[in-house]
Amino acid sequence: MSERPEEPLGSAGSESLLPIDEHVEEGRDAEGRKVRHRGIYLLPNLFTTAALFSGFYAIINGMNGQFASAAIAIFVAMVLDGLDGRVARLTNTQSAFGAEYDSLSDMVAFGVAPALVAFEWALGSLGKVGWMVAFIYVAGAALRLARFNTMVGSADKRFFIGLASPAAAAVVAGTVWAFSDFGIKGSNMAFVVALVVAAAGMLMVSNIKYHSFKDLDLKGRVPFVAILVVVLVFAVVFSDPPRILLLIFLAYAASGPVQYLLQLRRRKAVS
C-alpha cells in the first residue's frame, strides 16, 4: 500500500501549517527592482474585513427576519468596499493578497448575502423555483467577480463589462428594504422579486457596458455649486433612503441595456 509523499511546508495540502504572518509576495520598489514583502497591509484589509462582516451580518439578520437591517448592512458593505481600494491607492498599500481578499469579501457581501435575504423574504414561497433564482444570482456574482479579476489591467477603466456586483446587490437589497419597510409580505410579490433577482444575476454576466465613474477627478477643483449639488443629493437620499436608493440603482442597472439598444439603433441607421 503506497503512501502519499510528504509535502513541503507551505505547499498545497499543508496550508494550515503556515502562519499568517509569514505571507510573502513579490513587488517592486521605487526604482523598479523586484523586492519581497513579508506580511500584509493592515489598513486597507481592515476595511475589507469590515465589509465582509457587514455581509455576514446581513445574512444573520436575513435568517432572523430582520430584513431592513440586512439590507442596510449590504449598503454599508458597499461603502466599505469602495473605501478599501481607495485607501490602498492613497497609501500605496495595494497587494495581491488584498485583491484576492477583496474578491472573497465581495462574494459574501454582494453575492451570497443579497440572494439569501431575498430568498428568506420572498423567494422561499416559490419553492424550487425560488432557490433556483437565488442560485442564478449567486452564480452570476461569482462569474462576474472571476471575469473582473482576469480582466484587471486590460479592460477600459471607464466602463464595467456587466453590472458590477455591488450595484446588483443594491438593486436586490433595495427592493427588499423598500417594500418590507412598508410592511408588505415578500410572498405577495414573490414573482416580481424573482424577476428582479434573476435579471440582476444575468446583467452581471452580460457583455453590456456600464460607466464605472472611475474617470471622475475627485482631487481637482470644482465650482462652488458642485458642493451645493452634493448637499442636495444627500438631503434627497436621506429623505427616504429605501425608495430613493432603490430608484437610483434601478436607473443605473437599466442604463446599460438602454445605452446598448441605442447603440444598436444607431448602427442600423448608419448601415
pLDDT digits (tens, 9 = 90+) for 253-268: 999 999 999 988 888 8
- Return d(Cα 40, Cα 20) in angstroms, integer: 9
Q: 44 with 96: CB under 8 angstroms?
A: no
- Residue 254: the pLDDT is 95
Reading the block at residue 162, the C-alpha cell is 456587466
Reading the block at residue 63, the C-alpha cell is 435568517
CATH topology classification for 41-270: Four Helix Bundle (Hemerythrin (Met), subunit A) (1.20.120)
24: how many CB neighbours lie within 10 A of its CB? 11
Name the residue with cell 441605442.
262
- Residue 27: the pLDDT is 54
- Along the 271 residues of the chain, how does pLDDT read in single tens digits? 444 444 444 444 445 444 544 566 555 555 555 555 566 777 888 999 999 999 999 999 999 999 999 999 999 999 999 888 888 878 888 888 888 999 999 999 999 999 999 999 999 999 999 999 999 999 999 999 999 888 876 666 788 899 999 999 999 999 999 999 888 999 999 999 999 999 999 999 999 999 887 766 666 777 888 888 889 999 999 999 999 999 999 999 999 999 999 988 888 888 7
Alpha helices (runs of H) in 14-127, residue ranges in sequence order: 42-63, 67-90, 96-106, 113-121
How much of the chain is in helix, strand and coil states, percent to nearest 5? 70, 5, 25
Reading the block at residue 147, the C-alpha cell is 471575469
